[in-house]
Chain A
Amino acid sequence: MIKAIQILRHQGKQFIKDVTKVTLNEPFRGRPVISKIKVDEEALAKICPTNAITVNPVSIDLGKCSFCGECAFQFPAKIKFTSDYKLAANDRKKLIVQEGDDKAIELNSELIRKEIVSFFRGSLKLRQVSAGGDNSAELELNAAGNVNFDMGRFGINFVASPRHADGIVITGPITENMAEPLQICYDAIPSPKIVILCGVDAISGGVFQNSAALNRKFLETHKVDLYVPGNPPHPLTFINGVLELIGKLSRVKR
């Protein structure tokens, strides 16, 4: 017992005091900034392994970007990745960063359904479904609940049963073999409920785009409430996105 208390004391304080204010260091790849410098745009777009770069004007779709960093290595004057980890959006178009843009990505409050804030602001229980996820986004979602990031302090937790959940967090490109279990799980969640796509694979298929093994029909019939880019998304990206969605950011200690 004494030993256990000693161990406890040795841990000190591990939690991040303010999850909205942490700064991450280079070379962390967060929101990219694209300069207006002229480059060979076709060559630039061709580099991208997941077709995230489009030209005229040059833009990067964070829903497709696997954050490999290759474009920035080869065109350092054109593209820079900042360490801004607040990448989540509820409007798919907002994930597209254009040449010359250098502003924070924010949620469009008009698109947030009223019931999301009124029902879930105090407590949000989520059911996670890995539908072809490679266990990287899953590891980071688990980390979001650990003693360092501790999103449980905001009333946000993952739960075992969809019946206890207020929404679903999907990771992975949605495989054919998971299409039915995903639908069953979603149906079992009581309304109102939210859908969060977590990671590049979930948002666009990522490097698995066009694989014959996927079945992404679920996304054609369900509205997505939050897109969380990243490969995998950093726990801070996820937590900040969800806090903003449920209207809790103003209450987070500043």
Chain B
Amino acid sequence: MRNYITIKNNETIPFNTIPILKYEEFLETNVSFLKDAHNHCVSYFAFPFQNKLRLICCIANDFKARIKLTSAEIETNAAKVYPSLTACNLNFNMFEREISENFGVKYSDHPWLKPVRYSCSRFDQSASISNYPFYKIDSEELHEVGVGPIHAGVIEPGHFRFICKGEQIQHLEIQLGYQHRGVENLFLLKNNLLQRTLLAESIAGDTTVGHTTAFANLWESLCGYEPPDDLQFVRTLALELERIAIHTGDLSAICADIAYQLGASVFGRLRTPIINFFQNWSGNRLANGLIRAFQNNYSFTTELRDELLKILSAYEPDFEEMSDKLMHNPGSLSRLEKTGVVTFEQAHSIGAVGMTAKASGLNRDIRASHPSLYYRRMDHQPVIKHHGDVYSRTQIRREEIRQSIKYIKSLLKNIPDVESNKRLLLNPKQNSFLISLVEGWRGEICHCAITGENGELIHYKIKDPSFHNWLALALAVRKNEISDFPICNKSFNLSYCGFDL
């Protein structure tokens, strides 16, 4: 008999069908899953269940569009020490740190067992964010540079601790948690759908569409509702628009960080009509209010279609002209090329996802591997680059913008009729489990839900792609000049709040 169960993206299953293994077998099984290059860990978490701690591990097979689930039960209070999965495979690193922080699970051989975000429900309440145990090296030739939590700009907080030799970075440790708002706990405490939808919109405000789509897809499946075409259309279109908007803004920010004022201004203003279109459609420039489970408050009219086509046709020539100039400007190329390299091996070993993975030659894109919505009908070929440097990450944005424009134009040829403007009150199925994967502009977003006896949520787990990818930034800057840190950081554009939750 198989000791795991296989499900698809957005498939609701009875919770008790996930096999419970002995911890040792659980460890071996999941570690061996990852020996297959098509597999990666999309989520691994713990939650208190029937006086014990239940571990659930979700390994996605990107080739077969399936997710393998296993679980294990461990004692919550015992002084027991467990061998870690991380010692065998770094994919599990952040997940085990999180489990340990939240529930006090001790690992004998985890190489880097440090706090993750100082969550309000952490096991050790005496641990404080101002006392993070930074890695130190004793040497007369090295010095430390601390940056943050508050940075020099209108951006979110996080602390970066560099160990440098002269101007060269030897090591970077990234400490987060400042943005922790207790989102996952609130998902359980707020018991109405609209409140939960607003929470999903606020997980990361730059990925409103991505996270809210993950939530809406999840909630509908949990209630046994198959979203009709108009809902799927809206979500797919909005995901691609969000991608264009943020990628364009990122290109602007990358230009700003290499002091290329022309690029910064032009890309900056090119983003404006795209997000203003969101406002004309849904009343909000960041698409708050647009994505709702079961319903669509803002139908996509033919006037909106014409307006969007006009915006895109004005956008394209200016975008092409500017990005062509940027990519052929020796001054900018010298700053972008070979800066902040993440190798394929590194990306693979830490389980990088999304843009970060794709820039290092690792094909991870949920739109192709575990498609939902209209992506099931598209033949999406992810944009892959191989150098893993800032330049590759810049190229990905340029090419993904073009690709999204192409997708949007083809979507606009066939606007489905509105079927969903009524408010449905469906209840989630009882004792169920499901996982919802969506490719946001940054990468793979994963929401997991578990319901209890009465269909109430007993656990909600959110994973922003940044959860995997912050470590990629730390690796990328090694042996780079510290003055190149801002451009490296910007090329990843990871989320603080999405990580901190």
Q: Which residues on A are within 8 Å of B, measured CB to CB?
A: 3-4, 6-8, 10-11, 14, 24-29, 47, 49-50, 66-70, 73-74, 81, 128-143, 146-148, 158, 160-161, 172-173, 175-178, 180-181, 185, 201, 206-208, 211-214, 231-232, 234
Contacts and interface: CB of A to CB of B under 8 A. Distances in A.
Contact of B154 (A25, A158, A175): A158
Contacts, number: 191
A212 B269 contact: no
B108 interface: no
A150 to B, nearest CB: 10
Contacts of A47: 194
Nearest to A144: B154
B286 interface: yes
B101 to A, nearest CB: 13
Interface residues of B, number: 65
B198 A66 contact: yes
A212 B120 contact: yes
B269 A146 contact: yes
Contacts of B194: 47, 49, 68, 70
B150 A139 contact: no
Contacts of B177: 177
Nearest to B198: A207
Interface of B: 117-121, 129-130, 149-150, 152-157, 177-182, 185-186, 190, 192, 194-195, 197-199, 202-206, 208, 249, 262, 265-266, 268-269, 272, 279-286, 288-289, 297-298, 317-318, 321-322, 325, 423, 495-497, 500
Contacts of A68: 194, 198, 288-289
A11 B266 contact: yes
A136 B208 contact: yes
Given A49-B194, A213-B181, A206 B202 contact: yes
A148 B322 CA distance: 18
A7 B321 contact: yes
A211 B198 contact: no
B62 to A, nearest CB: 28
A77 to B, nearest CB: 17
Minimum-distance CB pairs A-B, first 6: A136-B205, A160-B152, A213-B182, A134-B205, A27-B283, A213-B120
Nearest to A172: B179
Contacts of A134: 179, 202-205, 497
B198 A177 contact: no
Contacts of B157: 129-131, 178, 181
B288 A67 contact: yes
A135 B206 contact: yes
A135 B129 contact: no
A148 B179 contact: no
Nearest to B206: A135
A177 B279 CA distance: 33
Contact of B152 (A8, A49, A161): A161
Contact of A129 (B150, B190, B199, B298): B150
B454 to A, nearest CB: 21
Of A69, A172, A175, which is in contact with the most chain B CB atoms at under 10 Å from its CB? A175
B154 A142 contact: yes
A135 B496 contact: yes
Given A130-B156, A177-B117, A212-B120, 16 more contacts: A8-B262, A27-B298, A50-B198, A67-B288, A132-B180, A133-B156, A133-B497, A135-B204, A136-B288, A138-B155, A146-B265, A146-B268, A181-B178, A213-B119, A231-B284, A231-B288
B501 to A, nearest CB: 9
A177 B178 CA distance: 5
A124 B120 CA distance: 36
Nearest to A10: B318
Contacts of A137: 205
Contacts of A146: 265, 268-269, 272
12 contacts: A47-B194, A49-B190, A68-B288, A69-B297, A134-B179, A134-B203, A135-B495, A138-B155, A138-B156, A147-B269, A177-B500, A208-B182
Contacts of A130: 154-157, 179
